[in-house]
Amino acid sequence: MALITFVNQCHIEHGAIDMLGATLEQLGIKKPLICTDKGLVDLGIVDTIRGRIPNDVDVTIYDGTPENPTEAAVTDAVQMFRDNDCDGIIALGGGSSMDLSKGAALLLTHDEPLINYNIATGGAMKIGPCTPMIAIPTTSGTGSEVSRGAVIITNDGRKLIFGSPHMIAKVSLCDPDLTIGLPPRLTAATGMDAVTHLMEAVMSPNENPPAEAIGLDGLWRAVGQGNLIRATENGDDRDARKEMMIAATEGALAFTKGLGSVHAMSHAVGRIAHLNLHHGTLNAVCLPACLRFNDEVLGEKRDRLRHAMGVPKDKPLDKAVEELNAKLGLPANLSEMGVTEDMIPGLVEHAMVDPTTMTNARPVNAEQYEALYRDAMGIA
């Protein structure tokens, strides 16, 4: 198996979960808390993971992760960890389980309220060593298994980013076999989450050539080679599933360079509880509008993105992404997802203070965010 040491130990290979027992021993974890969701319990994936853990290891399972992780759910996981005298966390699932696990690992070792640690107010500087965590992704999208950040809806209704090198999983076991048979719509949505990470990282004005190179490689794997479409159309395609897991991991490695307005817009919409919208789908739908907005400053990056994605020189990137979304069966605009005009002022307010706004390819003000939301809603 290939071992990549970048920000943590990351194993990407079919059968990577067979290393779980040895990894627990490596980290000295004897009583892990598995943080996951009820869907993975019902699918038998939690049992699959439990079967890779030695019998002398005492396992506790928290399966209350919501689709968009909340501070309340993080607190519940922390309480279960303490009630069962656990000594480490196994984050099993998509980005939601990963982010909840990071939040729990943070609160288990820090005394202040969660909100005090958010990036926007400088809270990252307060974060020290956290509870050890092993990440096992079951989707190919967020790359949270190798990222330092977690996005959590706090008790006051805001969707905030928490991040620190101390929050990175110690070891990530990325087994593409766990994504085999993932439903087409979820494959498409999580895959476009990865594509958005990769594109926004490349477009970010921050200088980080290695991260940008990783971003372009991920786009070549996901879009240029057609693996996102292949994995969506045939969930049993093991080669496509592996390539998408690599691309998703590369997305998070790349966005150490920064993200942008797509994520600021998605975070703002994703906090609306009654809509409960999927983050990757939101990214996919917002991406074309932001590409149109950023286009005038992309310069030679435009050609590099086109080349990596296999987009002809005479086709705008925004149109290429719109066509990809349509082929994947994703919504055409935010209006189809239940977003209405009366929501725009609140969305703009939230997007303006989201840290990802600061690293967009082009500066964005409130008036421009309003136009971006109208564009993404199909009412511009």
Residues 6+ apart with CB under 8 A from 44: none
Give me the domains of the chain, ranges plus CATH numbers.
3-178 (3.40.50.1970), 182-377 (1.20.1090.10)
E strand or H helix that includes residue 372: helix 366-377
- 161-205 pLDDT per residue, tens: 899 999 999 999 999 999 998 899 999 999 999 999 999 999 999
Give the residue-averaged pLDDT of 248-253.
Answer: 94
Mean pLDDT of the 204-218 span: 94
Give 308-328 pLDDT, tens digit per residue: 999 999 999 999 999 999 999
DSSP-based helix, strand, coil % in the chain, nearest 5? 55, 10, 30
What is the edge-to-edge ordering of all strands in the sheet holding 88-93?
A: 3-5, 9-12, 171-174, 133-137, 88-93, 32-35, 60-62
How do residues 30-75 score in pLDDT, each as one tens digit? 999 999 999 999 999 999 999 999 999 999 999 999 988 999 999 9
Out of 70-74, 157-161, 329-333, least confident range: 157-161
